[in-house]
Structure 1
Protein backbone atom coordinates (compact mmCIF):
# COMPACT_ATOMS: atom_id res chain seq x y z
CA UNK A 1 0.00 0.00 0.00
CA UNK A 2 1.59 3.25 -1.18
CA UNK A 3 1.67 6.06 1.36
CA UNK A 4 -1.09 8.64 1.02
CA UNK A 5 -0.69 11.95 2.82
CA UNK A 6 -3.07 12.43 5.72
CA UNK A 7 -6.34 14.22 5.01
CA UNK A 8 -8.59 16.49 7.01
CA UNK A 9 -11.59 15.12 8.86
CA UNK A 10 -14.76 14.72 6.79
CA UNK A 11 -17.74 14.02 9.05
CA UNK A 12 -20.34 13.82 6.28
CA UNK A 13 -20.19 10.02 6.06
CA UNK A 14 -19.54 9.24 9.72
CA UNK A 15 -22.35 7.95 11.90
CA UNK A 16 -22.27 6.93 15.55
CA UNK A 17 -24.66 6.25 18.42
CA UNK A 18 -24.76 9.67 20.06
CA UNK A 19 -27.26 8.53 22.70
CA UNK A 20 -24.95 5.75 23.88
CA UNK A 21 -21.96 8.09 24.05
CA UNK A 22 -23.92 10.60 26.10
CA UNK A 23 -25.25 7.86 28.38
CA UNK A 24 -21.73 6.61 29.06
CA UNK A 25 -20.49 10.14 29.66
CA UNK A 26 -23.32 10.83 32.10
CA UNK A 27 -23.02 7.53 33.97
CA UNK A 28 -19.25 7.82 34.28
CA UNK A 29 -19.53 11.37 35.57
CA UNK A 30 -22.21 10.44 38.10
CA UNK A 31 -20.20 7.46 39.33
CA UNK A 32 -17.10 9.57 39.89
CA UNK A 33 -19.05 12.35 41.57
CA UNK A 34 -20.55 9.89 44.06
CA UNK A 35 -17.26 8.40 45.25
CA UNK A 36 -15.22 9.55 48.22
CA UNK A 37 -11.65 10.69 47.41
CA UNK A 38 -9.94 7.46 48.52
CA UNK A 39 -12.28 5.22 46.52
CA UNK A 40 -11.94 7.47 43.49
CA UNK A 41 -8.16 7.31 43.74
CA UNK A 42 -8.31 3.49 43.87
CA UNK A 43 -10.64 3.37 40.87
CA UNK A 44 -8.40 5.67 38.83
CA UNK A 45 -5.28 3.67 39.72
CA UNK A 46 -6.89 0.40 38.63
CA UNK A 47 -8.14 1.92 35.39
CA UNK A 48 -4.67 3.30 34.72
CA UNK A 49 -3.04 -0.08 35.36
CA UNK A 50 -5.50 -1.85 33.05
CA UNK A 51 -4.77 0.64 30.27
CA UNK A 52 -1.03 0.27 30.89
CA UNK A 53 -1.07 -3.52 30.70
CA UNK A 54 -3.37 -3.89 27.69
CA UNK A 55 -1.63 -1.29 25.52
CA UNK A 56 1.57 -3.35 25.62
CA UNK A 57 -0.23 -6.65 25.20
CA UNK A 58 -1.93 -5.50 22.00
CA UNK A 59 1.52 -4.70 20.57
CA UNK A 60 2.99 -8.07 21.49
CA UNK A 61 5.57 -6.60 23.87
CA UNK A 62 4.73 -9.38 26.32
CA UNK A 63 2.11 -11.96 27.15
CA UNK A 64 0.42 -12.28 30.51
CA UNK A 65 -2.48 -14.45 31.60
CA UNK A 66 -5.76 -12.94 32.72
CA UNK A 67 -5.46 -14.07 36.32
CA UNK A 68 -2.17 -12.23 36.85
CA UNK A 69 -3.55 -9.28 34.90
CA UNK A 70 -6.40 -8.97 37.38
CA UNK A 71 -3.99 -9.31 40.30
CA UNK A 72 -1.75 -6.53 39.02
CA UNK A 73 -4.72 -4.27 38.33
CA UNK A 74 -6.12 -4.78 41.81
CA UNK A 75 -2.93 -4.86 43.88
CA UNK A 76 -0.36 -2.85 41.95
CA UNK A 77 2.56 -3.38 39.61
CA UNK A 78 4.81 -5.64 41.66
CA UNK A 79 7.13 -8.24 40.12
CA UNK A 80 6.63 -10.66 43.01
CA UNK A 81 2.94 -10.98 42.06
CA UNK A 82 3.85 -12.48 38.67
CA UNK A 83 4.04 -16.25 38.92
CA UNK A 84 6.45 -18.39 36.90
CA UNK A 85 5.04 -19.16 33.46
CA UNK A 86 2.33 -16.51 33.56
CA UNK A 87 4.26 -14.25 31.16
CA UNK A 88 6.82 -14.71 28.39
CA UNK A 89 9.16 -12.18 30.04
CA UNK A 90 10.51 -11.92 33.58
CA UNK A 91 8.42 -10.25 36.24
CA UNK A 92 10.92 -7.41 36.58
CA UNK A 93 11.00 -6.79 32.82
CA UNK A 94 7.21 -6.85 32.59
CA UNK A 95 6.71 -4.44 35.47
CA UNK A 96 9.39 -2.10 34.13
CA UNK A 97 7.65 -1.75 30.76
CA UNK A 98 4.15 -1.51 32.22
CA UNK A 99 5.32 1.08 34.77
CA UNK A 100 6.54 3.23 31.88
CA UNK A 101 3.06 3.00 30.38
CA UNK A 102 1.55 3.80 33.78
CA UNK A 103 3.70 6.90 34.12
CA UNK A 104 2.77 7.94 30.59
CA UNK A 105 -0.91 7.67 31.47
CA UNK A 106 -0.31 9.97 34.42
CA UNK A 107 1.18 12.45 31.94
CA UNK A 108 -2.06 12.24 29.94
CA UNK A 109 -4.05 13.01 33.08
CA UNK A 110 -1.88 16.03 33.79
CA UNK A 111 -2.21 17.25 30.20
CA UNK A 112 -5.98 17.14 30.55
CA UNK A 113 -6.02 18.70 34.02
CA UNK A 114 -3.83 21.62 32.98
CA UNK A 115 -5.51 22.00 29.56
CA UNK A 116 -2.15 21.70 27.85
CA UNK A 117 -2.49 21.74 24.04
CA UNK A 118 -1.52 18.77 21.93
CA UNK A 119 1.74 19.68 20.18
CA UNK A 120 4.52 17.80 18.44
CA UNK A 121 6.79 18.46 21.42
CA UNK A 122 4.24 16.85 23.75
CA UNK A 123 3.92 13.85 21.43
CA UNK A 124 7.70 13.40 21.49
CA UNK A 125 7.70 13.69 25.29
CA UNK A 126 4.96 11.08 25.46
CA UNK A 127 6.84 8.67 23.21
CA UNK A 128 10.02 9.04 25.26
CA UNK A 129 8.11 8.15 28.42
CA UNK A 130 6.23 5.20 26.91
CA UNK A 131 9.51 3.70 25.64
CA UNK A 132 11.73 4.85 28.50
CA UNK A 133 13.40 1.47 29.06
CA UNK A 134 13.42 0.27 25.43
CA UNK A 135 16.83 0.67 23.82
CA UNK A 136 16.39 -0.92 20.40
CA UNK A 137 13.91 -2.08 17.79
CA UNK A 138 13.91 -4.17 14.62
CA UNK A 139 14.33 -2.63 11.16
CA UNK A 140 15.13 -3.77 7.63
CA UNK A 141 18.71 -3.23 6.58
CA UNK A 142 18.98 -1.07 3.47
CA UNK A 143 20.18 -3.03 0.47
CA UNK A 144 19.91 -6.50 1.97
CA UNK A 145 16.42 -6.45 3.46
CA UNK A 146 17.70 -8.37 6.48
CA UNK A 147 16.05 -7.69 9.83
CA UNK A 148 18.53 -6.07 12.19
CA UNK A 149 18.32 -4.40 15.57
CA UNK A 150 18.82 -0.63 15.58
CA UNK A 151 18.79 1.92 18.41
CA UNK A 152 15.31 3.18 19.31
CA UNK A 153 15.34 6.97 19.16
CA UNK A 154 13.12 7.78 22.10
CA UNK A 155 11.20 11.01 21.61
CA UNK A 156 12.64 11.61 18.13
CA UNK A 157 11.10 11.20 14.68
CA UNK A 158 12.24 8.13 12.78
CA UNK A 159 15.39 8.30 10.68
CA UNK A 160 14.79 5.09 8.73
CA UNK A 161 11.72 3.71 6.91
CA UNK A 162 9.52 1.53 9.11
CA UNK A 163 7.24 -0.01 6.49
CA UNK A 164 6.01 -3.50 7.51
CA UNK A 165 5.74 -6.39 5.09
CA UNK A 166 2.38 -8.17 5.14
CA UNK A 167 2.06 -11.98 5.08
CA UNK A 168 1.20 -11.82 1.36
CA UNK A 169 4.49 -10.03 0.62
CA UNK A 170 3.03 -6.58 0.02
CA UNK A 171 4.50 -3.60 1.87
CA UNK A 172 2.41 -1.15 3.89
CA UNK A 173 4.06 2.23 3.50
CA UNK A 174 4.02 4.81 6.27
CA UNK A 175 5.12 8.43 5.87
CA UNK A 176 8.58 8.80 4.31
CA UNK A 177 11.20 10.05 6.74
CA UNK A 178 11.44 13.45 5.05
CA UNK A 179 7.65 13.98 5.23
CA UNK A 180 7.17 13.17 8.92
CA UNK A 181 7.72 16.68 10.28
CA UNK A 182 5.26 18.36 7.88
CA UNK A 183 2.67 15.61 8.30
CA UNK A 184 2.83 15.84 12.09
CA UNK A 185 2.50 19.63 11.92
CA UNK A 186 -0.63 19.21 9.81
CA UNK A 187 -1.99 16.66 12.27
CA UNK A 188 -1.70 18.86 15.36
CA UNK A 189 -2.87 21.98 13.50
CA UNK A 190 -5.99 20.26 12.20
CA UNK A 191 -6.68 18.73 15.59
CA UNK A 192 -6.48 22.17 17.19
CA UNK A 193 -8.94 23.50 14.64
CA UNK A 194 -11.41 20.72 15.34
CA UNK A 195 -11.81 21.92 18.92
CA UNK A 196 -13.20 25.20 17.62
CA UNK A 197 -15.61 23.42 15.28
CA UNK A 198 -16.90 21.20 18.14
CA UNK A 199 -16.17 17.83 16.56
CA UNK A 200 -17.67 15.04 18.70
CA UNK A 201 -15.00 13.48 20.89
CA UNK A 202 -15.33 9.86 19.70
CA UNK A 203 -15.02 10.98 16.08
CA UNK A 204 -12.02 13.18 16.85
CA UNK A 205 -10.35 10.41 18.85
CA UNK A 206 -10.76 7.96 15.97
CA UNK A 207 -9.54 10.46 13.36
CA UNK A 208 -6.50 11.46 15.42
CA UNK A 209 -5.65 7.83 16.18
CA UNK A 210 -5.86 6.77 12.55
CA UNK A 211 -4.01 9.71 11.02
CA UNK A 212 -1.18 9.35 13.53
CA UNK A 213 -0.99 5.63 12.78
CA UNK A 214 -0.99 6.44 9.07
CA UNK A 215 2.10 8.63 9.55
CA UNK A 216 3.90 6.28 11.98
CA UNK A 217 6.41 9.04 12.85
CA UNK A 218 8.52 7.06 15.33
CA UNK A 219 10.72 4.06 14.59
CA UNK A 220 8.64 2.00 17.01
CA UNK A 221 5.99 2.52 19.70
CA UNK A 222 3.50 4.24 17.40
CA UNK A 223 0.48 2.15 18.38
CA UNK A 224 0.89 3.02 22.04
CA UNK A 225 1.22 6.71 21.22
CA UNK A 226 -1.86 6.57 18.97
CA UNK A 227 -4.00 5.06 21.72
CA UNK A 228 -2.61 7.62 24.16
CA UNK A 229 -3.62 10.51 21.90
CA UNK A 230 -7.10 9.06 21.48
CA UNK A 231 -7.30 8.74 25.26
CA UNK A 232 -6.41 12.42 25.72
CA UNK A 233 -9.35 13.41 23.52
CA UNK A 234 -11.75 11.13 25.38
CA UNK A 235 -10.54 12.14 28.85
CA UNK A 236 -10.88 15.82 27.97
CA UNK A 237 -14.52 15.16 27.18
CA UNK A 238 -15.53 13.21 30.26
CA UNK A 239 -15.18 9.74 28.77
CA UNK A 240 -13.10 6.68 29.59
CA UNK A 241 -9.63 6.27 28.04
CA UNK A 242 -9.11 4.21 24.90
CA UNK A 243 -8.43 0.65 26.05
CA UNK A 244 -8.17 -2.11 23.45
CA UNK A 245 -8.62 -5.45 25.20
CA UNK A 246 -6.54 -8.39 23.94
CA UNK A 247 -9.72 -10.11 22.73
CA UNK A 248 -10.57 -7.09 20.55
CA UNK A 249 -7.27 -7.05 18.66
CA UNK A 250 -8.60 -8.58 15.42
CA UNK A 251 -11.56 -6.20 15.31
CA UNK A 252 -9.29 -3.27 16.16
CA UNK A 253 -6.84 -4.03 13.34
CA UNK A 254 -9.76 -4.48 10.94
CA UNK A 255 -11.12 -1.06 11.95
CA UNK A 256 -7.74 0.56 11.28
CA UNK A 257 -7.57 -1.13 7.88
CA UNK A 258 -11.07 0.12 7.06
CA UNK A 259 -9.90 3.63 7.96
CA UNK A 260 -6.96 3.15 5.59
CA UNK A 261 -9.57 2.56 2.88
CA UNK A 262 -11.43 5.75 3.81
CA UNK A 263 -14.08 4.40 6.21
CA UNK A 264 -13.59 5.73 9.73
CA UNK A 265 -16.91 4.36 11.03
CA UNK A 266 -15.65 1.01 12.40
CA UNK A 267 -12.97 2.79 14.44
CA UNK A 268 -15.44 5.42 15.66
CA UNK A 269 -17.89 2.76 16.77
Structure 2
Protein backbone atom coordinates (compact mmCIF):
# COMPACT_ATOMS: atom_id res chain seq x y z
CA UNK A 1 0.00 0.00 0.00
CA UNK A 2 1.26 3.46 -0.90
CA UNK A 3 2.26 5.83 1.92
CA UNK A 4 0.15 8.92 1.33
CA UNK A 5 -0.31 12.26 3.06
CA UNK A 6 -3.64 12.59 4.86
CA UNK A 7 -6.47 12.63 3.89
CA UNK A 8 -5.61 10.67 0.71
CA UNK A 9 -6.41 6.94 0.56
CA UNK A 10 -4.92 4.17 -1.59
CA UNK A 11 -7.89 2.05 -2.74
CA UNK A 12 -5.76 -1.03 -3.57
CA UNK A 13 -7.19 -3.08 -0.65
CA UNK A 14 -10.68 -2.80 -2.16
CA UNK A 15 -9.70 -4.69 -5.30
CA UNK A 16 -9.36 -8.11 -3.68
CA UNK A 17 -12.53 -7.75 -1.61
CA UNK A 18 -14.54 -6.78 -4.70
CA UNK A 19 -13.06 -9.35 -7.09
CA UNK A 20 -16.37 -11.02 -7.98
CA UNK A 21 -18.13 -7.67 -8.26
CA UNK A 22 -15.47 -6.44 -10.68
CA UNK A 23 -15.66 -9.62 -12.76
CA UNK A 24 -19.38 -8.98 -13.28
CA UNK A 25 -18.59 -5.41 -14.31
CA UNK A 26 -15.98 -6.67 -16.78
CA UNK A 27 -18.54 -8.97 -18.40
CA UNK A 28 -20.96 -6.06 -18.78
CA UNK A 29 -18.20 -3.87 -20.22
CA UNK A 30 -17.28 -6.57 -22.78
CA UNK A 31 -20.91 -6.69 -23.95
CA UNK A 32 -20.96 -2.89 -24.20
CA UNK A 33 -17.71 -2.83 -26.17
CA UNK A 34 -19.01 -5.48 -28.58
CA UNK A 35 -22.26 -3.59 -29.17
CA UNK A 36 -20.41 -0.31 -29.58
CA UNK A 37 -18.10 -1.82 -32.19
CA UNK A 38 -21.10 -3.31 -33.98
CA UNK A 39 -22.83 0.07 -34.07
CA UNK A 40 -25.68 -1.13 -31.87
CA UNK A 41 -25.41 1.62 -29.23
CA UNK A 42 -27.85 4.27 -30.43
CA UNK A 43 -26.55 7.82 -30.67
CA UNK A 44 -29.73 9.16 -29.08
CA UNK A 45 -29.07 6.92 -26.07
CA UNK A 46 -25.63 8.47 -25.66
CA UNK A 47 -27.13 11.97 -25.98
CA UNK A 48 -29.82 11.14 -23.41
CA UNK A 49 -27.14 9.94 -20.99
CA UNK A 50 -25.34 13.25 -21.41
CA UNK A 51 -28.46 15.19 -20.38
CA UNK A 52 -29.04 12.82 -17.46
CA UNK A 53 -25.43 13.20 -16.34
CA UNK A 54 -25.89 16.96 -16.04
CA UNK A 55 -29.31 16.67 -14.40
CA UNK A 56 -28.23 14.13 -11.78
CA UNK A 57 -24.88 15.69 -10.95
CA UNK A 58 -26.50 19.06 -10.36
CA UNK A 59 -29.52 17.63 -8.52
CA UNK A 60 -27.16 15.91 -6.07
CA UNK A 61 -25.97 19.40 -5.14
CA UNK A 62 -29.52 20.72 -4.68
CA UNK A 63 -30.30 22.15 -8.12
CA UNK A 64 -34.10 22.10 -8.58
CA UNK A 65 -34.27 21.91 -12.39
CA UNK A 66 -36.12 18.79 -13.52
CA UNK A 67 -34.69 16.47 -16.16
CA UNK A 68 -36.97 18.05 -18.79
CA UNK A 69 -36.03 21.58 -17.70
CA UNK A 70 -32.37 20.62 -17.86
CA UNK A 71 -32.86 19.36 -21.40
CA UNK A 72 -34.53 22.64 -22.39
CA UNK A 73 -31.62 24.65 -20.97
CA UNK A 74 -29.12 22.54 -22.90
CA UNK A 75 -31.16 23.17 -26.06
CA UNK A 76 -30.91 26.91 -25.43
CA UNK A 77 -34.55 27.26 -24.36
CA UNK A 78 -35.54 28.99 -21.13
CA UNK A 79 -37.62 26.64 -18.96
CA UNK A 80 -41.10 27.86 -17.97
CA UNK A 81 -41.83 29.19 -14.52
CA UNK A 82 -39.07 31.76 -14.09
CA UNK A 83 -36.33 29.45 -12.86
CA UNK A 84 -33.40 30.85 -10.90
CA UNK A 85 -30.75 32.15 -13.29
CA UNK A 86 -27.96 30.55 -11.26
CA UNK A 87 -29.55 27.12 -11.68
CA UNK A 88 -29.67 27.69 -15.43
CA UNK A 89 -25.98 28.65 -15.42
CA UNK A 90 -25.18 25.53 -13.40
CA UNK A 91 -26.85 23.28 -15.99
CA UNK A 92 -25.30 25.08 -18.95
CA UNK A 93 -21.85 25.06 -17.39
CA UNK A 94 -21.91 21.38 -16.50
CA UNK A 95 -22.82 20.40 -20.04
CA UNK A 96 -20.12 22.69 -21.44
CA UNK A 97 -17.58 21.13 -19.08
CA UNK A 98 -18.60 17.67 -20.25
CA UNK A 99 -18.11 18.89 -23.80
CA UNK A 100 -14.55 19.82 -22.82
CA UNK A 101 -14.08 16.28 -21.47
CA UNK A 102 -15.30 14.85 -24.80
CA UNK A 103 -12.85 17.09 -26.67
CA UNK A 104 -9.99 15.85 -24.52
CA UNK A 105 -11.02 12.25 -25.19
CA UNK A 106 -11.05 12.89 -28.95
CA UNK A 107 -7.79 14.83 -29.11
CA UNK A 108 -5.56 13.21 -26.51
CA UNK A 109 -3.88 9.80 -26.56
CA UNK A 110 -5.47 7.05 -24.43
CA UNK A 111 -4.47 7.15 -20.76
CA UNK A 112 -3.02 10.66 -21.17
CA UNK A 113 -1.94 12.02 -17.79
CA UNK A 114 -4.43 14.05 -15.78
CA UNK A 115 -2.89 17.38 -14.78
CA UNK A 116 -3.50 20.19 -12.32
CA UNK A 117 -4.37 22.42 -15.26
CA UNK A 118 -7.11 19.96 -16.25
CA UNK A 119 -8.64 20.28 -12.78
CA UNK A 120 -8.52 24.06 -12.96
CA UNK A 121 -9.94 24.16 -16.50
CA UNK A 122 -12.94 21.97 -15.65
CA UNK A 123 -13.69 23.91 -12.48
CA UNK A 124 -13.44 27.23 -14.33
CA UNK A 125 -16.16 26.06 -16.72
CA UNK A 126 -18.33 24.51 -13.99
CA UNK A 127 -18.37 27.74 -11.98
CA UNK A 128 -18.42 30.27 -14.85
CA UNK A 129 -20.67 33.29 -14.10
CA UNK A 130 -21.32 31.81 -10.63
CA UNK A 131 -18.10 32.16 -8.65
CA UNK A 132 -15.48 34.88 -9.32
CA UNK A 133 -12.87 32.42 -8.01
CA UNK A 134 -13.72 29.87 -10.73
CA UNK A 135 -10.62 27.94 -11.75
CA UNK A 136 -8.65 29.01 -8.68
CA UNK A 137 -7.67 26.88 -5.69
CA UNK A 138 -9.19 27.93 -2.38
CA UNK A 139 -7.00 29.74 0.12
CA UNK A 140 -8.95 29.13 3.35
CA UNK A 141 -10.73 26.32 5.12
CA UNK A 142 -14.08 24.97 3.98
CA UNK A 143 -16.78 22.84 5.61
CA UNK A 144 -18.81 20.11 3.88
CA UNK A 145 -22.51 20.01 4.72
CA UNK A 146 -23.68 16.74 6.25
CA UNK A 147 -20.33 15.43 7.45
CA UNK A 148 -17.92 16.00 10.30
CA UNK A 149 -15.01 15.51 7.92
CA UNK A 150 -13.02 18.74 7.53
CA UNK A 151 -10.86 19.01 4.39
CA UNK A 152 -7.30 20.29 4.80
CA UNK A 153 -6.48 23.99 4.72
CA UNK A 154 -4.98 25.56 1.62
CA UNK A 155 -1.33 25.17 2.58
CA UNK A 156 -0.87 21.41 1.84
CA UNK A 157 -2.14 21.58 -1.78
CA UNK A 158 1.40 21.57 -3.17
CA UNK A 159 1.81 18.10 -1.64
CA UNK A 160 -1.71 16.68 -1.85
CA UNK A 161 -2.67 17.44 -5.45
CA UNK A 162 0.54 15.99 -6.99
CA UNK A 163 0.12 12.87 -4.82
CA UNK A 164 -3.50 12.49 -5.96
CA UNK A 165 -2.54 12.93 -9.62
CA UNK A 166 0.34 10.47 -9.28
CA UNK A 167 -2.06 7.82 -7.99
CA UNK A 168 -4.49 8.50 -10.83
CA UNK A 169 -1.86 8.49 -13.57
CA UNK A 170 0.34 5.61 -12.44
CA UNK A 171 -0.23 2.13 -13.90
CA UNK A 172 -0.77 0.04 -10.78
CA UNK A 173 -2.65 -3.01 -12.02
CA UNK A 174 -5.89 -1.84 -10.41
CA UNK A 175 -9.28 -2.27 -12.03
CA UNK A 176 -10.38 1.01 -13.68
CA UNK A 177 -13.47 1.16 -11.43
CA UNK A 178 -11.29 1.04 -8.31
CA UNK A 179 -8.92 3.69 -9.58
CA UNK A 180 -11.79 5.92 -10.73
CA UNK A 181 -13.42 5.68 -7.29
CA UNK A 182 -10.06 6.45 -5.70
CA UNK A 183 -9.62 9.57 -7.86
CA UNK A 184 -13.14 10.78 -7.02
CA UNK A 185 -12.72 10.19 -3.30
CA UNK A 186 -9.28 11.77 -3.02
CA UNK A 187 -10.40 14.82 -4.99
CA UNK A 188 -13.36 15.52 -2.71
CA UNK A 189 -11.24 14.74 0.37
CA UNK A 190 -8.79 17.46 -0.68
CA UNK A 191 -11.73 19.73 -1.65
CA UNK A 192 -9.41 22.05 -3.60
CA UNK A 193 -12.07 24.62 -4.49
CA UNK A 194 -14.40 26.73 -2.38
CA UNK A 195 -17.43 25.40 -4.30
CA UNK A 196 -18.16 23.02 -7.17
CA UNK A 197 -15.97 20.17 -5.92
CA UNK A 198 -18.58 17.43 -6.29
CA UNK A 199 -19.53 18.31 -9.86
CA UNK A 200 -15.86 18.65 -10.81
CA UNK A 201 -15.02 15.30 -9.18
CA UNK A 202 -17.76 13.48 -11.08
CA UNK A 203 -16.64 15.02 -14.38
CA UNK A 204 -13.01 14.09 -13.75
CA UNK A 205 -14.05 10.56 -12.83
CA UNK A 206 -15.91 10.31 -16.13
CA UNK A 207 -12.91 11.65 -18.04
CA UNK A 208 -10.68 9.05 -16.41
CA UNK A 209 -13.13 6.23 -17.22
CA UNK A 210 -13.86 7.38 -20.78
CA UNK A 211 -10.12 7.42 -21.50
CA UNK A 212 -10.30 3.68 -20.80
CA UNK A 213 -13.31 3.12 -23.09
CA UNK A 214 -15.95 3.06 -20.39
CA UNK A 215 -19.20 4.91 -21.14
CA UNK A 216 -20.59 7.96 -19.39
CA UNK A 217 -21.18 6.97 -15.77
CA UNK A 218 -24.06 8.57 -13.90
CA UNK A 219 -24.38 8.79 -10.13
CA UNK A 220 -28.15 9.00 -9.82
CA UNK A 221 -29.67 11.58 -7.49
CA UNK A 222 -31.96 8.78 -6.24
CA UNK A 223 -28.82 7.16 -4.82
CA UNK A 224 -27.62 10.34 -3.15
CA UNK A 225 -27.91 8.98 0.40
CA UNK A 226 -25.85 5.88 -0.41
CA UNK A 227 -23.35 8.01 -2.30
CA UNK A 228 -22.79 10.33 0.65
CA UNK A 229 -22.83 7.49 3.19
CA UNK A 230 -20.15 5.53 1.35
CA UNK A 231 -18.03 8.66 0.98
CA UNK A 232 -18.37 9.16 4.74
CA UNK A 233 -17.22 5.58 5.36
CA UNK A 234 -14.18 6.26 3.19
CA UNK A 235 -13.52 9.36 5.30
CA UNK A 236 -13.31 6.95 8.25
CA UNK A 237 -10.88 4.65 6.44
CA UNK A 238 -13.15 2.05 4.80
CA UNK A 239 -12.94 2.60 1.05
CA UNK A 240 -14.61 -0.68 0.00
CA UNK A 241 -18.26 0.52 0.10
CA UNK A 242 -17.51 3.58 -2.04
CA UNK A 243 -15.50 1.53 -4.55
CA UNK A 244 -18.41 -0.93 -4.75
CA UNK A 245 -20.89 1.93 -5.16
CA UNK A 246 -18.92 3.40 -8.08
CA UNK A 247 -18.65 -0.04 -9.72
CA UNK A 248 -22.44 -0.39 -9.42
CA UNK A 249 -22.95 3.02 -11.04
CA UNK A 250 -20.66 2.10 -13.93
CA UNK A 251 -22.42 -1.21 -14.52
CA UNK A 252 -25.89 0.36 -14.28
CA UNK A 253 -24.90 2.95 -16.89
CA UNK A 254 -23.62 0.19 -19.18
CA UNK A 255 -26.85 -1.80 -18.82
CA UNK A 256 -28.89 1.27 -19.73
CA UNK A 257 -26.88 1.86 -22.90
CA UNK A 258 -27.13 -1.74 -24.12
CA UNK A 259 -30.78 -2.12 -23.13
CA UNK A 260 -30.41 -4.66 -20.34
Paired residue secondary structure (2:133): coil
Residue from 239, 242, 249 that aligns with 1:264: 239
Is this contact kept in 1: 2:9–2:182, CA < 8 A?
no
- Evaluate the alpha carbon distance shift between residue 133 and residue 44 of structure 1 in structure 2; reply closer, same or farther with a 3 A threshold: farther
Q: Which protein has the larger Cα radius of gyration, Structure 1 or Structure 2?
A: 1
Map residues 143-222 of structure 1 onto 2, 5 A cutoff: 152-164=132-144, 166=146, 171-193=148-170, 196-222=171-197
Matched with 1:53 is 55
Quick one: distance in 2 between partners of 1:20 and 1:208? 22
- Structure 2 residue 51 is the aligned partner of structure 1 residue 21: no
Matched with 2:248 is none
Identify which of structures 1 and 2 has the higher relative contact order when contacts are C-alpha pairs closer than 8 Å and 6+ apart. Answer: 2
Scaled by the length of structure 1, the TM-score of the pair is 0.77
Scaled by the length of structure 2, the TM-score of the pair is 0.80
Matched with 1:243 is 218
Displacement after TM superposition at 1:134 (Å) = 0.9
Structure 2: gaps spanning 5 or more residues? 245-260
Structure 1: gaps spanning 5 or more residues? 136-151
- Structure 2 residue 8 is the aligned partner of structure 1 residue 10: no
Paired residue secondary structure (1:134): coil
Q: What is the aligned-residue RMSD (CA, Å)?
A: 2.6
Q: Deviations over 1:167-223 (max 9, x none)?
A: 8xxx43101110122100111112222xx2221110001111111111101111111
Quick one: distance in 1 between partners of 2:102 and 2:173? 21
Displacement after TM superposition at 1:126 (Å) = 0.9
- Structure 2 residue 206 is the aligned partner of structure 1 residue 231: yes
